[in-house]
Amino acid sequence: MLAGTLPASADEVRLLDGSLIRGKIVHIRDGLMTVSPTFSANNIEIRMSEIENFATDEPVFLMMNTDAIFSGTVLPGFGDTVSISSPHHGISSAGTPEISWLWRRGDPSPADLRVEKKERHWEFSCTAGLNVTTGTTESFNGRFGFDAVNVGEFDKLQMFSYLRYAEVEDTASEDNFHIGANYNDSKYSPVLWYAKTDNGYDRIAKQNFFSTTSLGLGYRVLENDWDTFDVRLGGAFRYEAYEEDAGVDDVSTLAAEIGFDNEIRLPFGKVVTAFTYSPALEDPQENYKITHETYLQTIYYEDLVAIKTGISNTYNSIVAVGNENLDTTVYVELVFKLK
């Protein structure tokens, strides 16, 4: 008799206290899950922070904090995780706290509703981490930074600053400071344009001041729900002022800039790669600079805290006497998002 009163199938929501709610998950929005339970004619709202995992009896759409979108039938995973079964992409795993939106076919998507993260807004974060640097010096150093990002529907302005410092036997083995900004606009995608600047000093490289400012166009080669790949071509002005005992002349030159940016959005975070080759226009074979960075950023606590692990390389064809051309840094950082 009881079996006859229950629907043949239903979604299930398991709470952190062990409670199980059966019914239909209407949607997830703004950190709240709306459920139409079997025991009531009224919908109930549950905070995602109170949910361990959940399951659906039919395919749905999920959007993560990273903006990655997945579709498929949701199955409960281990602890606070779920598995997404898709006939096109197999099984994907995601943490329940990392899910920001759920909707069904025919329902309005986050893009349709023009959610807050697609409208212009500011995001602030600070970072603290550790670096291992090889090249001119072998050092284990600390890094502290602050970012302010203004995000629009098609453009993004990032202003950043960070300091790296370390001492070995009361002598600085790492001492550099960066401050700058990056702007890109993809309103006319696949064509986009960008402008960026990076300024500061590097005591170990014997640079009292350095500045690289560039402007150019890009082309979006690939864009889907989980992957974006852009190529860039532009011009730049590079300036490097060295200390008197550096044994090298200051650099002041116009340069070309060739590079690419790739972002892969995962259920639990993202992988970002940036590469830039900047040869001087006057003597490109003898005066050029190459920079590369790849990092994995995993998100925790509803996008408030993240762990960023990466590697960066800088190759400068002109360096102070006794310094290495290539410097490599491996780092681990905690990122705290300020709301």
Alpha carbon 276 to its chain's center: 18
Tell me how far apart the alpha carbons of residues 272 and 256 are, in angstroms, rounded to a whole number. 23
Q: What is the pLDDT of residue 7?
A: 47
Q: How many residues does the chain have?
A: 339
- Judge whether 35 and 44 are in contact, CB under 8 Å: yes
Q: What is the pLDDT of residue 259?
A: 97
Which residue from 78, 25, 19, 87 is spatially nearest to 51, judged by alpha carbons? 19
pLDDT digit string, tens, across residues 216-267: 999 999 988 789 999 999 999 999 999 999 999 999 999 999 999 999 988 7
Q: What is the pLDDT of residue 2?
A: 43
Question: Could you tell me where the DSSP H helices lie in 108-224?
Answer: 110-113
Element (H, E) at 36: strand 32-37
pLDDT digit string, tens, across residues 178-218: 999 999 998 898 999 999 999 999 998 999 999 999 999 99
pLDDT bucket at 68, cuts 50 / 70 / 90: confident
Q: What is the pLDDT of residue 6?
A: 44
Instruction: For the chain, count helices (H), then strands (E).
Output: 2, 22
**More confidently predicted of 6 and 187:** 187
End-to-end CA gap in the chain? 52
What is the DSSP annotation of 38-66?
Answer: TT-SS-EEEEGGGEEEEE-SS-EEEEETT
Tell me how far apart the alpha carbons of residues 122 and 231 are, in angstroms, rounded to a whole number. 26
Res 291 pLDDT > 90: yes
Average pLDDT over residues 307-336: 93
